[in-house]
Every structure is written in structure tokens, then in C-alpha cells.
Structure 1
């Protein structure tokens, strides 16, 4: 028999779970906003920007999709050890060496999806970026509302099997702004057959 005490306790637990979920979502949205603001500052800085001088003069901020919590998903991280190094094609003849580090499994728009994470073998030697992972991807918005060559998301080596994958933090390769850069081309296995209306839009 359920007592008033039991009902009150269960209600407390339910409210705690709901409030925790709301707080986490609020934190993720704030993190995405902060990321986008920092990216705007970087691109407005003549010392850091990938923009051409003529574009920098008129630069007032990157064009982002509205931050959408639906594109902030929980993903299962699966480590893939003993992967062989490979050269990743770029927009030039440069061939940087990467190793597939792991896989992200997640559900978005009702579809079960997977993206691979890669580790640049040169950055492994850098104490600032030794735990840096690279997530290049393409989706069905490329060449329309987003850059045709795909976009990137930065990652650090996960500390658990569950990670947050936030497409609001997707940004363009430097090649979207200037032809003087050499940018990795997202591998075919990171092609998403959905539209990602989040992150940075195409540069005009």
C-alpha cells in the first residue's frame, strides 16, 4: 500500500531528475553560446583570423544557426585500440597522419548514427594538444546552408563512455574563408545522411 510519505518521496525524486536534466541542458546551451562567442572573437582578431583582409574589414561575426538543444546529444564513446595510422587527404597535397581513436554512437532525428574520432599523430607530441581528438563530418546541408567541404568539432579524450556531442559547436575549416589553407577532408565514414541545422553556416 502506497503511503503519503512514499508518494512524496517519489515526487521529490521525479522533480530532482527533471530539474537536473533542465540544469544540464541550460549548461550545455550556455557552453555552446560561449564557444560561438569565443570563435567570433578569434576571427575578429587580426593575429588569429583565417579571414582575408578584405573580409576582416567588414566582419561583424560569423553566421550561426540558432542554438538548438535538439542537436546536443548523448553519445556512447567506444575506444578502438590498435588502429593503423593513415594519411588523411586535404584540400592540398599535404597528407597529415592520423589514427582512428574511437567511435561515437548516438541517435538523432530518429536515426542511429556513428561518427569516428581521429588523433593527429603530430599533435600527440604537443603538451597542449596531446589529448586532442578531431571530428570532421559532412551532412546533407553541405553546399546549401553550410560549407560544401564539411565541418569540424573539437574533442578531448573522453574520461567516460558517455559524452556530449554538441553540433552547435560545429565550425568551418579555414578553407571556407581563404584558399591559402590546407584542410583535412572528412572521411566518407563520417558522412551523415541527415541535415544538421546547427553550428556555423556557410561563409558569404
Structure 2
């Protein structure tokens, strides 16, 4: 649900299930991850700056056309802005060179200068309140060029588990603190119960919609005995493999796909801190990119 390329990774697994082993499908997904971090047009490490725009706020994009690394967001209206972005009535309001743009333009990308463009989307700013997240991308960003690739533990089939699923009929809301000092609310869909390394584990799962009919994916935000000791200090996330209908009687979780929040490498995201503890050293999934 939260991985920058979670959907693509799951599609790889689903599409190749008949031809690839779980380990080979996992290897293929890592190639997709590397593209999402550094080589895709809107790769995470190509972000030059981001702004989180609350209702009633306006941000201006300032920079020098010949210097792609100079583009940044400035709060408020600026006469020199190449683009202004506001959030009003729950919708983005855009203006480029003093001319209005349709909000849909953000999904396609708005060209600003050679090698520089902007994308954005409505996002949760706090429980019950939406805002606008806008990002400016620099195709020459040094962080993307310096990227060496994701670093995962070797694939271990024992970390691919089938769990019974105990749904939460109340879909209890849970508020997570985030890396930007904001709050995000998700809904407890239920618990996955499984045995791993001879221990019975109960792992809460969450979705971003309270309507059971709209729940098509679930995620765990977890810490473990390696957190801060080889695994990312703010915890990791893992998504449940696709299921036909909610609530499923059982779910499959492959911890080899456990991934760091985008904030592990980029300060431009708003990532929930993990809170649910697995009392094991989970030697599967992504490692701490700062550990070495």
C-alpha cells in the first residue's frame, strides 16, 4: 500500500506466479525498486523539493531556468514564481505564468524548465483533513546519480508465511505520528496470526479506508529486534499479497518484500512511524540504508 512501487511489485508476483519462483519474482521486483528510486522520470531521489499545502495556503515555485538544482517551494505568493499552488475547498488550484491550470495537470507532470517538472496529489494532512503534496523533480539530481541500489537480506522462503486473519469488525481508527511531525489515520482491518521460528505472532494490519467494501490492500507497520541494528530505525512496512475479497479467511505475507518508508532516503515524504513489534530478528526485507 505504501511502497513507492508496491503495486508494481505485486503485479510482478501475480503476473509471473506461473513462470517464476517466489525468489525470482522477488529479484525482479528489486529491479523495479531501483528504477523507482533513481532512474524513472519521477524517481524519488530526483525530487528537488516538496511542499505540503494545507487548506487555504499557497506556495510559489522559485528557481533559475538554467540551474535545475535551484528550484524550490516558497510559502506564499511571489511575483517571480513560475508556478503557484494553493489548496482551496479540498481541491488544488494551480497557476503557471499567471495563467490557471487544470488540477489534472499535476498527475501528468507540469514542465517548468529543461529537466524540471512538478507533480502532486491530494494527501492526508491529519485525521479527516486533506491537503496537497507537490514535488519538483530535477533530472540531474546528484542524489539519484549517486544511488547504488537497494540493499536487502538474501531471499529466505521461511519468511513467506500464510496467516489466519481475524477481522476487526469496528475497523478501529489508529493515528500514527509521521516523520514530518504530522498525524495520519489508518484503520485496523484485523490481525494476521501465524507461526514463525516456532513463535506465534499476532500482527495488526491496516488500510486507508474504513469501508470494508473498499479494502483491497492491507499493510503492517512493524519494528523487530533488528530495528536500529541493521534494519531502519523507524521500522519497516510489509504489504499483504492480493486477496479476492475482504475479509479474507487467510492472507499471505512475504517478509522478503518488507521495505523501508520512503523517508529512509528522502526527507520529502510524510511517513508513519511503525509501532507494532515482532519479537524476532527479522532477517528478511530491506536493510537500513544508513547502517554501512
The answer, yes or no, to whether TM exceeds 0.5 is: yes
CA-based RMSD: 2.4
How many pairs align? 174
Once superposed, which parts of structure 1, at least 4 consecutive aligned residues long, lie more than 4 Å away? none
Tell me if 1:202 matches 2:288.
yes
Equivalent in 174, 193, 202 of residue 86 of structure 1: 174
Please say if residues 97 and 121 of structure 1, whose CA atoms lie closer than 8 Å, have aligned partners that are also in contact. Answer: no
Distance across 1 between alignment mates of 2:240 and 2:161? 14
Change (3 A) 1:114 1:31: farther
Distance across 2 between alignment mates of 1:48 and 1:76? 38
Equivalent in 206, 219, 230 of residue 134 of structure 1: 219
Distance across 2 between alignment mates of 1:162 and 1:85? 22
| Residue 105 (structure 1) shift | 0.5
Equivalent in 277, 286, 292 of residue 191 of structure 1: 277
Distance across 1 between alignment mates of 2:223 and 2:161? 17
| Residue 121 (structure 1) shift | 3.2
Structure 2, unmatched stretches of 5+, are 1-16, 47-140
SS of residue paired to 2:234: coil
SS of residue paired to 2:188: strand
Change (3 A) 1:113 1:130: closer
Q: Which residue of 1 aligns with 2:44?
A: 50
Matches within 5 A, 1:13-32: 27-32=21-26
Please say if residues 239 and 253 of structure 2, whose CA atoms lie closer than 8 Å, have aligned partners that are also in contact. Answer: no
Structure 1, unmatched stretches of 5+, are 1-22
Give TM-score, length-normalised by structure 2: 0.54
Please say if residues 263 and 270 of structure 2, whose CA atoms lie closer than 8 Å, have aligned partners that are also in contact. Answer: yes
Distance across 2 between alignment mates of 1:60 and 1:39? 12
Distance across 1 between alignment mates of 2:281 and 2:174? 28
Matches within 5 A, 1:1-204: 27-51=21-45, 53-121=141-209, 131-155=216-240, 158-159=243-244, 160-187=248-275, 190-204=276-290
Distance across 2 between alignment mates of 1:134 and 1:165? 10
Give TM-score, length-normalised by structure 1: 0.75
Task: Using CA pairs under 8 Å that are at least 6 residues apart, name the structure with larger relative contact order, 1 or 2.
Answer: 1
| Residue 40 (structure 1) shift | 1.6
Change (3 A) 1:130 1:83: closer
Cα deviation, 1:1-28, whole Å, max 9, x if unaligned, reads: xxxxxxxxxxxxxxxxxxxxxx99x732
Please state which structure has a larger fraction of its residues in strand: 2
Please state which structure has a larger fraction of its residues in helix: 1
Change (3 A) 1:97 1:157: farther
| Residue 115 (structure 1) shift | 0.7
